[in-house]
Structures are given as C-alpha cells and as structure tokens.
Amino acid sequence: MDKEYLIKKWLNEELIDSEKQAFNKLDDAFLSQYIVDNAKYFKASHSQKIEDFDTFKSRYEASKKLVKKLNWFSPLLKIASVIVVSLGLYFTFFFNNITVIETLASEKTSVELPDHSLVELNALSAIEFSSKNWDDNRALTLKGEAYFKVAKGKTFDVKTTSGIVTVVGTQFNVKQRNNYFEVKCFEGIVKVVSDTIVMQLLAGDSYQILDGKFTYGKIVYSSPQWITNMSEFNAIPIKNVLSELERQYDVEVTFNNVDTNRLFTGAFPHDNLENALFAITQPMNLTYKLNASNLVVIHGK
C-alpha cells in the first residue's frame, strides 16, 4: 500500500485492520521515531490546532534531509580524525625519528650511534637520541649507567638529570642513579658540568657527586668493571651497593637492623646471586636470607 495513503489515514484514525497491519510493518525507523516525538502536534488539545497532513509531510521531509546530511558528515569526521592521527604519527616517526634504547633488570646491551660510536648500556638504563638529526644535534639523554667509546674526532653531549658530559673522541663511563652521579674517564678528555661545578677530566680521573657531596678521585682500570660482569665500589654506602644488586639480579632487598649508610669497598659478580651476596655481606659482618620469591633480607648483628 502507498505509504502516504497509510499515514494520512492513520492521522485521521481511519485505518482498517488490514491497513493497520501494513502501517505497523513500515520499515522506516526514522518515520516511526518522528511520529512518536511529534505526536503532540497531531493530537487534540485545548490550545493547539491540529496540523494537516501536508504540513506534517513537509516537516518530515525536511527532517529526513537533515538526518541524511548528518549521516553523510559523520563518516567524514571519522576520516578526518584518522588523517590527523596518521599525520601526527608520520611527523613523529619520520621527522623526529627519536630512538630509545632501554634495558631491563639483569640485562645489558650494546648500541651503535649514527657516527659509529659505541654505547654499552648497563641494567635498568636507557638512552634517547635523534638518529635523523644526529649531525645537527649531537646529543643523547641517559638514565642509568652507560660506557661510551666515542669515534675519533667526534663530539657529542651526554645529558643526565645531574649534569652534562661533553666529549671528544674518548672512552668514559657515566652513572646517574638516585642522588648518585659519577663520571670516569678512561681515555681522552671529558668535560663535566653539574650545577656550579665545571671540571675537565683526563684519562684516569673520576668525578662523583653522592648525596650532594663532590669527590674527585683516580681509577686504575682501563674500562669499567661492570662490562665484565663485576660491579665495584669504593667507599659507597651499602644501600647504593644493594640497589645495584637489585638491578643486576632483578631481586628485592630489605634490611633488618642494618645501618644502610655504612661505606662499602669491594665488588660483586653478576653471574651468581649467592656469591654476590656473600661478597657484600661477609666484609661488612652481615648475614642474608634469600627467599624463593626473589626477596633478599640483609640482617645486621
């Protein structure tokens, strides 16, 4: 049956049973909703005049056009959103091209920089640099500890939250942990700037700021011991030593009746946790207990 014919008869409440069945089967969802929402305009009241079918039809057709317009516009919004996100990703990856290298607990890795300088990254550490703009921005950001072998004649800056290390064709180690900043120069010359302290280190020099206190020292090794799986310390609080143990073995260390500011001088290996714990606790007259859940408890006497 003709749709307009059915609507007109429905408005005049003249539908017979067969026509009501046909009317109820109309599949125009918008029409049904429109009739429900606008029923007040077609039912008698004390203050409103009932509109005729032609007025109703005109408003309905106008509403249909609006809905079609919105439905056509909605996909364009989605497409525009996708384009905006895609462009953002494009500019991020192809123009900035930031490289981030991270290590997990008990993990070490080697990285080659764009100028072929080499970086050895210690456990729970990270470096970040722009490989695309390396020639114009020869700098990287370090969190944790890394050993650098800089290509001859090349210069760049190592930025940390504690200071900046500027180098020219040299080998050096930078360690930046909580309240602990250390630079050791093994070859060439290194310039270190930290707060108001500016120093130039030569091969064999060591620069350290621990809990705000500056210390200058000497080193006897030709490279950092951690790259050979040994962590060595010279008069470092035992809490810092055991923090390094946590990074190298992915364990958690707690203390029982221990002065965590006692200074430790010595080393521990990275390949055997029991041996490492013995190397730390025995010289300090401490004991330890290792639980199955990778929890280590250090006991004082």
Q: Which of 61, 93, 125 finishes a domain?
A: 93
Distance CA 32, CA 108 (A): 67
> Is 89 in the same domain as 103?
no
Residue 185 φ/ψ, nearest 5 degrees:
-100, 125
Instruction: Identify the weakest region by mean pLDDT among 82-96, 167-181, 237-251, 265-279.
Output: 82-96
Q: What is the mean pLDDT of residues 146-153?
A: 90
**213 and 233 inside one domain:** no
Residue 67 above 50 pLDDT?
no
Dihedral over Cα of 158, 159, 161, 164: its sign: positive
Please check the confidence at residue 74 and state whether its pLDDT lies above 80. Answer: no
Range of the domain at 81: 3-93
The whole-number average pLDDT for the span 103-114 is: 95
- Rounded to an integer, the average pLDDT of 125-149 is 93
- What is the percentage of the chain residues whose pLDDT exceeds 70? 72
pLDDT at 122: 98
Read off the pLDDT of residues 11-32 as tens digits, 9 standing for 90 and up: 666 777 777 777 677 655 345 4
Q: Same domain for 115 and 81? A: no
Backbone angles phi, psi at 175, to 5 degrees: -130, 120
Instruction: Tell me if 184 sits within 8 A of 199, measured CB to CB.
Output: no
CA distance 87 to 286: 59
Judge if 41 and 83 occupy the same domain: yes
Same domain, 236 and 272: yes
Q: How many structural domains are present in the chain?
A: 3
- Inter-residue contact 113 to 107 (CB < 8 Å): no
Q: Which of 227, 253, 269 is the last residue of a domain?
A: 227
Q: Within this chain, do residues 106 and 219 fall inside the same structural domain, yes or no?
A: yes
Q: Are 247 and 124 in contact (CB under 8 A)?
A: yes
Whether 217 and 161 share a structural domain: yes
**What is the C-alpha separation between 285 and 38, in angstroms, rounded?**
88
Together in a domain, 204 and 223: yes
Place 47 in a pLDDT band, splitting at 50, 70 and 90: very low
Q: At what angle do helices 53-90 and 3-11 cross, to 10 degrees?
A: 120
Same domain (yes/no): 111, 75: no
Q: Is the pLDDT of residue 48 over 80?
A: no
Helix H or strand E encompassing 65: helix 53-90
Amino acid making up residue 68: K
Check which CATH number belongs to the domain holding 268 and give it.
3.55.50.30
**Do 112 and 42 share a domain, yes or no?**
no
> Is the confidence at residue 121, as pLDDT, over 60?
yes
Torsion of CA 74, 75, 78, 80, to 10 degrees: -100
Domain boundary among 186, 201, 227: 227
Q: The domain that contains 208 carries what CATH number?
A: 2.60.120.1440
> What's the token pair of residue 194?
């930290």
Section 115-127 average pLDDT:
96
Answering whether pTM is above 0.95, one says no
pLDDT tens readout for residues 216-230:
999 999 999 999 999
Please report the pLDDT score of residue 26 as a whole number: 66
Residue 224 dihedral angles phi and psi, to the nearest 5°: -65, 140
- Statement to judge: residues 131 and 183 lie in one domain: yes
Whole-number Å distance between alpha carbons of 105 and 84: 37
Do 234 and 197 lie in one domain? The reply is no
Q: How far is CA 113 from CA 26, 108, 130, 187, in A?
A: 70, 16, 10, 19
- H/E segment holding residue 295: strand 295-299
